[in-house]
Amino acid sequence: MKTNKNFNNLVPNYLFAEIAKRTNNFLKENPDKSVIKLGIGDVTLPLAPIVVEAMKKGADDLAKKESFKGYPDYEGYEFLRQAISDYYKSFGVDVPADEVFVSDGAKSDCGNIGDIFSADNTVLVTDPVYPVYVDSNIMAGRKIIYAASNQKNGFAAMPDENVKADIIYLCSPNNPTGSAYTYDQLKEWVDYANKNNAIILYDAAYEAFITEDLPRSIYAIEGAKSCAIEFCSLSKTAGFTGTRCGYTIIPKQLERDGENLYALWYRRQATKFNGVSWPVQCAAAAVFSQEGQKQIKENIAYYQENAKIISSALDELGIYYTGGKNSPYIWLKCPDNMGSWEFFDFLLNEANVVGTPGEGFGKNGEGYFRLTSFGDRENTIEAVRRIKELLKK
């Protein structure tokens, strides 16, 4: 018996454990202080009422012989895939229902998609990066190269003609930097991928946070259907982080190396995945109803207002940042050239506010810091007041 030695190449991720450790130590030594967490990467508002209603009704269906459901279709129920297709149509993007796979979330799909690709592909990720893209490919033994996101390119890495990549992960609006690609920028990536016979794996988990005229989907870009797979999720859009539902789109025309990628993924899912439960698919469909959209947008607007409160303060302080506008994340340059962890300790000790050190997301995160808008309003306002008080010159 031999284990997968690629696991030895994983870099231990101490980020959130270290944050918890330092926060708890501080609280132990300063029991009278109230610490506000602006590092939360999880939603905090409850599910929309219409979504809960649909989930309850779905559960009732399972209680009766006439409406009981067993195994669902591998690719998800037709009514949900059609609702997703109509949702894309609402912002002008054509995604047929039969190119949609419903899943238990984008994290698993982003990682599992590697099953359909050979181990000897070169994977390109932007740095800083959502760790799932890196670790899942290290587990598979793939070579990983990095495209730098930095202040010079507004934390939106662009393709380099001299670099050869086979698989490209893009996340826009980005976690952790909050930056979002423009139509022209995404077109450059699509052109690069088509020219180099590469595949773009596009993570659109934060598309619902876009407020400006920016692409909500890679398929808003001409040429994307011959080079891109898109992942999306109801986690951040509709508070499904605990409920679990996402979807992956593979255009039927997408082929590489003589194979149809839709067919490969269908076979993979049919082998290793037995679908999403009936109550959850009912709840997901409710998200895409007219009333569902209205209700989930209220929650998103709440987070967006928090983001605005944070970014306005940074504007006042003259601190460089990306995100906040089209993203729940605000990615800022640590003041006075402090390191990420140095600023973490400074903010914790002097303002009793916790955020996420940027270097936890990659080399280019050194000297940067992530704040999130997923907290509640009162705490966000108070944290921002303390930050302003601490950093004003």
Ligand X SMILES: *Cc1c(COP(=O)(O)O)cnc(C)c1O
Contact positions toward ligand X, by CB under 6 A?
A: 105-107, 130, 171, 175, 203, 205, 233, 235-236, 241, 246
- Residue of minimal Cβ distance to ligand X: 105
Query: Could you identify the residue written with the tokens 């930095």?
Result: 150
C-beta of 208 vs 348, nearer to ligand X: 208
- The distance of closest approach from Cβ of residue 216 to ligand X in the complex, given in angstroms and rounded to an integer, is 15
C-beta of 39 vs 335, nearer to ligand X: 39
- The distance of closest approach from Cβ of residue 106 to ligand X in the complex, given in angstroms and rounded to an integer, is 4
C-beta of 238 vs 348, nearer to ligand X: 238
Distance CA 326, CA 330 (A): 10
Phi, psi of 127, deg, nearest 5? -125, 120
- 374 to 138, 207, 301, 306, 324: CA distances (angstroms): 30, 16, 11, 8, 12
C-beta of 75 vs 203, nearer to ligand X: 203
Per-residue burial over 270-295, b if 16 or more Cβ lie within 10 Å, else e, is: eeebebbbbbbbbbbbbbbeeebbeb
Radius of gyration of the chain (CA): 21
- The distance of closest approach from Cβ of residue 104 to ligand X in the complex, given in angstroms and rounded to an integer, is 7
- The distance of closest approach from Cβ of residue 236 to ligand X in the complex, given in angstroms and rounded to an integer, is 5
Q: How far apart are the first and last CA of the chain?
A: 62
- The distance of closest approach from Cβ of residue 171 to ligand X in the complex, given in angstroms and rounded to an integer, is 5
C-beta of 121 vs 172, nearer to ligand X: 172
- At 102, is the secondary structure helix, strand, or coil? strand
- The distance of closest approach from Cβ of residue 234 to ligand X in the complex, given in angstroms and rounded to an integer, is 7
Distance CA 137, CA 139 (A): 5
C-beta of 331 vs 346, nearer to ligand X: 331
